[in-house]
Amino acid sequence: MSTHRDVVSFVRRGERLSQGRQNAWDRLSPTYVIDPPRGHRDTLPADGTRLDLEEVFGRRAELVVEVGSGTGDNIVAAALDHPERDHLGVEVYLPGLAQTLSRVERSGSPSNLRMLPLDAQRALPALLPEGSIDQLWVYFADPWPKQRHHKRRLINPPFLDAVLPLLADGAVFRLATDWAQYAHHMRSQLDVRPELELLHPEGPRPEGTSSDAIPPNIESTGWAPRFEGRVKTGFENKGRAAGRLIWDLAYTRAARPSGPDGTSDVEAPTAQ
């Protein structure tokens, strides 16, 4: 009997760690890596598993989640710059997680950061309550440029159906890519969602020419300026070096319909 294989946006290749990364993993993962019981795949939590954010971080504060945090450039810098917030990086690639841990240690071991080594689309709605995320970041996700691979793109209905309910009212959803075709695809998926509103509806598209093909019907407005809180990673630098433009997007989570008592059906969490 064959097992159904879900379409995922990532491919897990060889994950052997160098000795230095293995040492960092052994030393730091018990503190920084959330390790819930696993389900039928090692990137899925077991049924019924939930995260208690107050227990994980030792407090309840504004929560920033980065999906595909890579080697931790952004999420570690954000945790250092904003000790009043809690930060959760979601990354399935073990070498990236180990390098993030090394970066955490070199930066002074901030206590407001945790890593989750699971499939974000399937794990986050299982582990987190609705309305618990105050900022969601997706930077330079794999564009899967070939037509036959478009179903693997992260920014597609299954992912949005999974994560948008987790955003608190007024939460900010930030994205960036160096591929114009993927930028256009993201707009086609995000602009139609009633839960989302563009933060910069009049924002112009990036200036200049690009080495990749820009769709002739790509939106001329609605683009965000570069987010100052985003560190320039190797992915962004590689895209710029190849002559591609950087496309930024920012949305806010629209308020949920009010319940019978006049309050939102899902209350946004408050920092303490």
Nearest 5°: CA angle at 119, between 170 and 169? 10
Annotated binding site: 66, 91, 119, 142, 146, 178, 233-236
258 with 122: CB under 8 angstroms? no
Nearest to 209 by CA among 174, 240, 183: 240
Binding-site members for S-adenosyl-L-methionine are: 66, 91, 119, 142
Q: Is 203 in contact with 221 (CB distance < 8 Å)?
A: yes
Find the helix packing angle between 19-32 and 94-106, rounded to 10°: 80
| DSSP string covering 85-150 | SEEEEE---HHHHHHHHHHHHHTT--SSEEEE-S-HHHHHHHHS-TT-EEEEEEES-----SGGGG
The amino acid sitting at 100 is: T
Q: Verify whether residue 265 is a known catalytic residue.
A: no
* Burial (CB count <10 Å: 0-12, 13-18, 19+), residue 194: exposed
Binding residues for substrate: 146, 178, 233-236
Q: Which of 90, 115, 119, 85 is nearest to 103 (CA)?
A: 115
Which listed residue (86, 142, 191, 248) is catalytic?
142
Q: In what order do the strands lie in the sheet with 86-90?
A: 113-116, 86-90, 63-67, 133-139, 167-177, 247-253, 196-198
Positions marked catalytic: 142
